[in-house]
Amino acid sequence: MSSSELPREWPETNAADELTLLTEFLTFLRITAVNKLAGLDREAAAATPFPASPVFSALGVIRHLTSVERYWLSIVGGGMDVPNRWESPDPDIDFRLSEQDTPESVVAEYQHQWELSQHALRGKAAGDPSVKDADKTVRWLLTHLVQETARHVGHLDVLREFADGTTGE
């Protein structure tokens, strides 16, 4: 069984402030990313169609986005003590799947991370320094997450097209 598509809306064009705008764009991109798995079974979502990247799959990209967000927003931004897959010496740890990694489980972990991220940044202003790296502001962290997520949504576009021919947002 595979997950169904989540509703999404473009960010408001007259956002009240920059944190609202950055958060709305990040939310839009998060939903776009998980919707790339909607309707795929585990086999299609775990497929690795690029010979030069033998562990690169749609499930792996979502796991990677979870790790990216956990590191930058929860750990660096909010100083939270949460598991960090990147402490592994394996540079491909996000992309190495187990049989337990299904579209549903990987999306659920990513969505849980959205809640952790919101908690980690609650009450912070755009110019506030991050907890673990005072050289990086909340503004920088969110902008970085927007560009990183957007880049990987492009990868998911291609992986989805390889999986079943589906194109578009």
Residue 122's domain spans which residues? 23-164
Q: Mind listing the pLDDT tens digit of every residue in the chain (169 residues)?
A: 456 889 998 988 888 899 999 999 999 999 999 999 999 999 999 999 999 999 999 999 999 999 999 999 999 999 999 999 999 999 999 999 999 999 999 999 999 999 999 999 999 999 999 999 999 999 999 999 999 999 999 999 999 999 999 887 7
pLDDT of residue 15: 82
pLDDT of residue 14: 86
Asked whether residue 169 is domain-assigned, the answer is: no
Asked whether residue 10 is domain-assigned, the answer is: no
Asked whether residue 12 is domain-assigned, the answer is: no
Q: Which residues, other chains included, contact 89 with Cβ-Cβ below 8 Å and sequence gap of 6+?
A: none
Distance CA 169, CA 158 (A): 11
Distance CA 118, CA 30 (A): 13
pLDDT of residue 165: 92
Per the structure, how many domains does the chain have? Answer: 1
Helix (H) or strand (E) holding 111: helix 103-121
Asked whether residue 6 is domain-assigned, the answer is: no
Asked whether residue 128 is domain-assigned, the answer is: yes
Residue from 107, 90, 125 nearest 42 by CA: 107
Asked whether residue 11 is domain-assigned, the answer is: no
Asked whether residue 105 is domain-assigned, the answer is: yes
DSSP bridge partners of 129: 137
Asked whether residue 96 is domain-assigned, the answer is: yes
Token pair 């673990």: residue: 132
CATH number at residue 39: 1.20.120.450
pLDDT of residue 1: 41
